[in-house]
């Protein structure tokens, strides 16, 4: 069991090995996650909602993500650490470079950012400066004010074609990984087939190269928000915290999660 590296992600896709990712915000859960064989850990800006109690991810700062990344990193020896660039930390290439440098110096191996469009320049700028990037398309929670809520994306032909083009564009810009959130399963499978880089789904069906869940959702911790369709409480079947993490990892690897009940057709 070697520690994960960025180039090993593409190898896993080529070999058809599913990638299991979970969010985490502190060292104690990080230790449990590492012991449970989770491949990737995300210090998500979801921490604004599940840790800080806000009703969106917009209030989260680079300092917040840096603090939690350092906490998580101390509890890990194997999982690859991905840290979110919070709202507007990626508004310009220069800001994104400063924020990403801080997150890598706090223990991340890769930063994640939402969207395509002008973010393609940001991705290229970071990758050229030795900062591995994970892209994030579909439902991008930092767009909640424009979107007017958290909704499935790419339901009609025009938005599906746009999403498919954006996915190719972020990969061409140098992203090494792509999170697809709340995308109909057939579209996510099509995007996964289009790309050489792995896709990680959340509410994107079983056809992705891997899956991610928010830690609190996996453990059935009530965040005070309506529970999305793709959320599954693995604590019930796992019986303990590491049991829940292992049950989730097993279900992703053997293709039983997500099923139709936890996906969008
Ligand atoms: O912030 C987060 O937890 C995320 C995942 C839901 C992909 O971005
Ligand atoms: Na996020």
What integer pLDDT is reported at residue 1 of this predicted model?
73
Report how far residue 99's alpha carbon sits from residue 25's, in angstroms, rounded to the nearest whole number: 18
pLDDT for the residue numbered 147: 94
pLDDT on residue 223: 64
Could you tell me the distance, in angstroms and rounded to a whole number, from the CA of residue 42 to the centre of ligand 1?
7
Q: Is residue 31 part of a domain?
A: yes
| Beta-bridge partners for 202 | 181
Q: What residue numbers bound the domain in which 219 lies?
A: 6-262
Atom of ligand 1 nearest to the CA of 45: 1
In a domain, 106, yes or no: yes
Question: Tell me, what's the pLDDT at 138?
Answer: 98
Which of 20, 214, 231 to probe ligand 1 with, by most ligand atoms within 8 A of CB? 214
Q: How confident is the model at residue 91 (pLDDT cuts 50, 70, 90)?
A: very high
pTM: 0.98
Q: Rounded mean pLDDT of the chain?
A: 97
Dump pLDDT digits (tens) for 23-37: 999 999 999 999 999
**Could you tell me if the CB of 40 is within 6 A of ligand 1?**
no
In a domain, 245, yes or no: yes
Express as a percent the part of the chain with pLDDT over 70.
Answer: 99
Q: Which CATH number fits the domain that encloses residue 211?
A: 3.20.20.60
ipTM over 0.85: yes
**Residue 250: closest CA among 16, 38, 40, 79:** 38
- Mean of pLDDT values over 215-243: 90
Query: How many independent structural domains does the chain possess?
Result: 1
Sign of the alpha-carbon torsion through 236, 23, 173, 162: positive
Ligand 1 in reach of 23 Cβ (< 6 A): yes
Please indicate whether residue 181 is annotated as part of the active site.
yes
| Smallest CA separation from ligand 1 atom 1, residue | 44
C-alpha to C-alpha distance for 219 and 238, rounded to whole angstroms: 10
Residue 10 lies in a domain: yes
Q: What is the number of the ligand 1 atom nearest to the C-alpha of 214?
A: 3
Is 36 within a domain?
Answer: yes
Pairing label, strands 19-23, 40-43: parallel
Kindly name the residue from 94, 128, 130, 181 that is annotated as catalytic: 181
The mean per-residue pLDDT over the stretch 162-186 comes to 98
- Whether 59 maps to a domain, the answer reads yes
Spatial CA neighbour of 84 closest among 71, 96, 76, 94: 96
Tell me which long-range contacts 8-12 makes (C-beta under 8 A, separation of at least 24).
9/80, 9/176, 9/177, 9/197, 9/198, 10/176, 10/196, 10/197, 10/198, 12/39, 12/198, 12/209
Q: What is the distance between the terminal CA atoms of the chain, rounded to a whole angstrom?
A: 36
- 1 lies in a domain? no
Residue 69 lies in a domain: yes
Question: Rounded to whole angstroms, how far apart are CA atoms 163 and 160?
Answer: 5
Question: Binding site annotation covers 45?
Answer: yes
């Amino acid at each position: 069991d070697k520690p994960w590296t960025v180039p090993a992600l593409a190898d896993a896709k080529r070999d058809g090995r599913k990638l299991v990712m979970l969010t985490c915000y502190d060292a104690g859960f990080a230790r449990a996650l590492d012991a449970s064989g989770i491949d990737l850990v995300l210090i998500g800006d979801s921490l604004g909602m599940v840790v800080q109690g806000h009703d969106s991810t917009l209030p989260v700062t680079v300092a917040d993500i840096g603090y939690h990344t350092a906490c998580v990193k101390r509890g890990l020896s194997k999982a690859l650490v991905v840290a979110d660039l919070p709202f507007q930390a990626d508004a310009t290439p220069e800001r994104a470079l400063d924020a990403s440098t801080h997150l890598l110096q706090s223990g991340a191996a890769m930063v994640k950012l939402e969207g395509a469009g002008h973010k393609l320049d940001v991705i290229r700028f970071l990758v050229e400066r030795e900062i591995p990037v994970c892209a994030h398309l579909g439902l991008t929670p930092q767009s909640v004010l424009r979107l007017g809520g958290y909704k499935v994306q790419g339901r009609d032909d025009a938005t599906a074609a746009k999403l498919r083009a954006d996915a190719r564009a972020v990969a061409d810009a140098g992203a090494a990984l792509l999170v697809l959130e709340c995308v109909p399963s057939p579209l996510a499978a099509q995007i996964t087939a289009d790309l050489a880089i792995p896709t990680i789904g959340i509410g994107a069906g079983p056809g992705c190269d891997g899956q991610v869940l928010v830690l609190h959702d996996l453990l059935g911790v009530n965040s005070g928000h309506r529970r999305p369709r793709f959320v599954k409480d693995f604590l019930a079947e796992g019986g303990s915290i590491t049991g829940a993490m292992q049950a989730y990892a097993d279900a992703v690897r053997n293709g039983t999660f997500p099923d139709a009940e936890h996906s969008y057709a």
